[in-house]
Structure 1
Amino acid sequence: MAPTAEPSSRPPQWRPRTGPPPGLKNLGNTCYLNSVLQCLASTPPLATFCLASRHSNQCKKVFPNRDNDCALCVLERQIARLLRADAGALDSPAKVIRCMPLFAEHFRWGRQEDAHEFLRYVVDACHTADLRMRKGLRAAAASGNCGEDVRGQGVCLVMRETFGGALLSQVKCLECKGESNKTDEIMDISLDLPGSSSVADALSRFFHPETLDGANKYCCESCKKLTSARKQMFMLRAPKVLVIQLKRFEGINGGKINRNIEFKEALDLSDCMYNKNQDPHPVYNLFGCIVHSGLSSESGHYYAYVKDVAIDQWFCCNDSHVSLSSSQNVLSEKLNLSAPMELAYQAPHLVRPRRYLW
């Protein structure tokens, strides 16, 4: 459905750039952070939201007496600056680093950190900032302490709108056929790698049914006894942008799984859906990939691949150095000791954010 607002009142639209994205300075073991920022800036729904300054504009009005920016204000301005920069420019993540306690209190400047862990903290912190602003907006509207330009506006929970999905964990008694269902909201999927040679294989194992039997029988409330049961995970609601973490690090002090894990540019989750007749089917296209080169999470180097979908061109973002790449280069990372850690897929048919996002 087309927006009812006049074209002049629409927020700025994200447009894939037709040249290389700006590089990001490495300010001392900040490659993990730079890689995450490059992928976030290449995420279309989030990029559009940040260009419109939707959050920071509202945040100032809802919390006029607050001196410091919140986590989402910081991220929004950083991403908007990356998107507005000239092709081939060089930017700095200094503001994000100075505000690191807003995202992850235990992260320290100059220390190598885990890219996936940082991404999770960023998403969680920004989602919390949105929830806080929604609560503040409601309180201000109820007390009459906000202007007409703020009253009646909704708050877009952009992280949930972009990355949010839901898993359904189902246990089915094999005697009475009764079902117990539990829903969990997700922002990504983490895949175990032992026994898998590809992302498709790891996903199949993740959603494969498990039989609860023997010493692991299920306590069925209907049968009022221990019974054999089938336990299975389903995708209940597919996210607009699917982030997959490949769990290459084994435990806190464990080593790294450098084994080749094959992945493709297209990913179909139809077989994983709880509703098999869902339309449209959740078919995803790869647009971002974070790679780790090294032997442990506390050492080595991170870099990212991002795709300019307008010209079907991949770029390798290695801190300040950005170069042309190709899908062949991205997919061949599975053959190197530089192992992909994070994959970002977008579902073209599912990317329909609320009207005020576009």
Structure 2
Amino acid sequence: MNGPPGSVLVTHSNPPKRGGNHALAVDPVSRRGLKKGENQPLLCAIHKQLHANAPFPYVSISDVFQTLQSGGKGAVASRVFAQHPTPLPFPCGLANHANFCFINAILQVLLFMPPFAQLCLSAIGEEKGCPTLAMLGKWMADYWKKNGGRGALPPPRLPFTRSGPSGRTLDGAAQEDAQEFLQRFLEEIQTELIGLERRFAKEKGEAPTPSPANAKKAEGEEGSGRGWTVVKGGEQLFIRRHVDKEGNSRLLDAIFGGTLESHLKGKHRQQNHALVTVERFFSLPVDVGFAMECSIEEALERTLRTERIYDSVRGKDLKKTLLFDELPQILLLHLRRWVVTAEGELVKLENTVRFKRTLTIPSSLCGGSQPNRHARAYRLLSVVAHRGMATTRGHYVTFLVSHAADPFHVTPNPEVPRNGVKKGKSRDTPEGAPSEAKLRHPPNDNHVLLCNDMKISLSTWSEMERECVYFLVYQKKES
């Protein structure tokens, strides 16, 4: 049964309620050129794929939000979304009729990111409140319906790519930066989700529950006005949290939301005082220009290193240290490949960055509650590489490391005879949904899948390492 890494099937144990805004009731796939009667089996197949891997029975985005709300600040966020697809989906080529490679590369990353794909699919029925996410969810359903077949799918015409506050468009008319596209995309999604979450909360007659970071802020600032003071290891830390004027989205924070602590020492007359500013991030820029070759762990240590800065007002040196406060479920590491020379020229760094299939954030880089080793462990999902030397030219490609099936390696399923009816078929299998006659397999440890616009091919790990890596995408290991 094919389908995207989406949300959960409505089964006999949790049937849809009458009048409820459920995915099967609103029939969100009815306008995608599908044959009559095909909607329900297809959508069921889509929702079925992560049924065994998500603890909550989502059908719509309001269900996801209510689960987060009911969990309060107690960290159900880390368990809300499904972690991996079953069976593994096949990748599909994406058409590039202009300069869409920067969009295509990021879309392949998002498609094989189970928590985010699940969020997109749950938003299909929210075209008015969340048009970008709903459009992407519908397009994802088309992608999975194609099932890795021949031909390429055109990328979606997302609303935010056509115009922006700066007047620039990201519509493929010119080559653009993949990082800028992803940043604009997440900002647009957050704006839409904030409005949607406020509407959900208003309909329930309650105030939106703050995200974990804002919940801490609300507790700490009670009676202090600007921040709060804690004592840690003999140091007095005065903590202030940076809060966006528009607020944060609980839904997006549950997937991408991480926070950094910036410790500044030397401003206070007492040696044991430090000012700590906590800021949120979705994508973390990582310095790589300090050596011709380094590991991603060394690059993180360099990025979050302690540095001395000069306070011209007080005429004294200050010590600044960056630390991870909260680690996100999906960790986006953006390698800083572009630098400005002394002559003002923008050049690309071709430094080699080594990485593995797993990443454990060093405890020395973590502040706050100092998470245990398992809470700091990630696995690599995908890699985006940039080919070429110029900012206005070049080409982006994506390597899929996890959550994707190798289209060049399928074997017959012994449980499915020629009539296509699987032996011992579960009652939860959607009526009319096709059986999986072929077993899907991930690439072996020495191989990855290369998505180069329309072309999907098998590549080796060593070939990927020789590319100029621009983005590393990690997902927290399952607990």
Fold similarity call, TM over 0.5:
yes
1:298 CA drift (Å):
0.9
- 2:378 partner letter: Y
Which has the higher mean CA deviation after the structures are superposed, 324-333 or 194-203? 324-333
Equivalent position to 1:202, from 277, 299, 302: 299
Match of 1:294 in 2: 388
In structure 2, relative to structure 1, the CA distance for the partners of 1:255 and 1:19 (3 Å cut) is same
**Does 1:246 find its partner at 2:246?**
no
The reply on whether 1:169 has 2:262 as its aligned counterpart is yes
Q: 1:309 to 1:140 in 2, by over 3 A?
A: closer
> 1:296 Cα shift?
1.5
1:262 counterpart = 2:354: yes
Comparing both chains, which one has the higher relative contact order based on Cα–Cα distances under 8 Å and sequence gaps of 6 or more? 1
Q: Return the offset for 1:265.
A: 2.2
Q: Which runs of 5+ in 1 are unaligned?
A: 144-154, 220-224, 334-338, 351-358
Give, in whole Å, the separation in 1 of the partners of 2:158 and 2:119.
22
Counterpart residue type for residue 291 of structure 1 = A
One of 140, 152, 173 as aligned partner of 1:110? 173
Q: Which residue of 2 aligns with 1:331?
A: 465
Secondary structure at the aligned position of 1:87 is classed as coil
**Whole-angstrom CA distance in 1 between matches of 2:462 and 2:442:** 13
Shift, 1:256, TM fit: 1.1
Q: Is the 8 A contact 1:88 1:322 kept in 2?
A: no
1:135 aligns with 2:194: no
- Confirm or deny: 8 A CA contact 1:30 1:112 kept in the other structure: yes
Q: Secondary structure at the match of 1:250?
A: strand
Counterpart for residue 27 of structure 1: 97
Q: CA deviation at 1:70?
A: 1.8
The one-letter amino acid paired with 1:283 is: A
Alignment of structure 1 residues 91-106 onto 2, 5 Å:
91-96=152-157, 100-101=161-162, 106=168
Once the two structures are superposed, the pairs formed by residues 54-203 of structure 1 within 5 Å of their partners are 54-57=122-125, 59-60=126-127, 63=128, 70-96=131-157, 100-101=161-162, 106-107=168-169, 108-139=171-202, 157-173=250-266, 175-196=270-291, 197-198=293-294, 199-203=296-300
Structure with the larger helix share: 1
The 8 Å contact of residues 38 and 304 in structure 1, kept in 2 or not, is answered as yes
Two-structure CA RMSD over aligned residues (Å): 3.0
- Tell me the secondary structure at the aligned position of residue 375 of structure 2: coil
Q: Could you tell me which amino acid in structure 2 is paired with residue 327 of structure 1?
A: W
Q: Which amino acid aligns with 1:330?
A: M
- Rounded Cα–Cα distance in structure 2 between residues aligned with 1:281 and 1:170: 22
In 1, Cα distance between equivalents of 2:196 and 2:345: 39
CA distance in 1 between partners of 2:285 and 2:156 (Å):
29
Question: Could you say if the C-alpha distance between residues 285 and 316 of structure 1 is closer, same or farther in structure 2, counting changes exceeding 3 Å?
Answer: same
The SS at the match of 2:401 is strand
User: Contact 2:358/2:377 (CA < 8 Å) preserved in 1?
Assistant: yes
Query: Secondary structure of 2:356's match?
Result: coil
Number of residues of Structure 1 aligned to a counterpart in Structure 2: 313
- Greater CA drift, 36-45 or 260-269: 260-269
Shift in Å at residue 188 of structure 1? 1.2
Partner secondary structure for residue 85 of structure 2: coil
Task: Tell me how far apart the structure 1 counterparts of residues 95 and 89 of structure 2 sit (CA, whole Å).
Answer: 19
SS of 2:253's partner is: helix
Cα distance in 1, alignment partners of residues 369 and 194 from structure 2: 33
Q: CA 1:253/1:137 → structure 2, altered by over 3 Å: closer, same or farther?
A: farther
Residue 119 (structure 2) aligned to one of 49, 52, 76 = 49
Secondary structure of the residue that 2:184 maps to in structure 1? helix
> How far does residue 91 in structure 1 lie from its aligned partner after superposition?
4.2
Separation in 2 of the partners of 1:312 and 1:46? 20
Amino acid at match of 2:401: K
Structure 1 ranges of 4+ moved more than 6 A: none
Q: 1:205 to 1:31 in 2, by over 3 A?
A: same
Cα distance in 1 between the residues matched to 2:155 and 2:119? 22
Q: Distance in 1 between matches of 2:110 and 2:172?
A: 21
CA–CA distance in structure 1, aligned partners of residues 338 and 258 of structure 2: 25
CA 1:95–1:281: 2 relative to 1, 3 Å: closer
Distance 1:316 1:17, change over 3 A: farther
For 2:155 and 2:299, locate their aligned partners in 1 and report how far apart those are by CA, in whole Å.
Answer: 37
Paired position in structure 2 for 1:347: 476
Q: How far off its partner does 1:172 sit?
A: 2.5
SS at match of 1:15: coil
**Unmatched segments (≥5 aa) in structure 2:** 1-10, 17-56, 60-81, 207-247, 405-440
2:211 paired residue number: none
Question: Residue 150 of structure 1 aligns with which residue?
Answer: none
* Aligned amino acid, residue 104 of structure 2: N
CA separation of 1:18 and 1:31: change in aligned 2, threshold 3 A: same
Query: How far 1:228 moved relative to its partner?
Result: 4.6
2:465 maps to a residue whose letter is L
Aligned to 1:152: none
- The residue type paired with residue 136 of structure 2 is L
Do 2:133 and 2:189's aligned partners in 1 also have CA atoms closer than 8 Å?
A: yes
Cα separation, partners in 2 of 1:349 and 1:227, compared to 1, 3 Å: farther
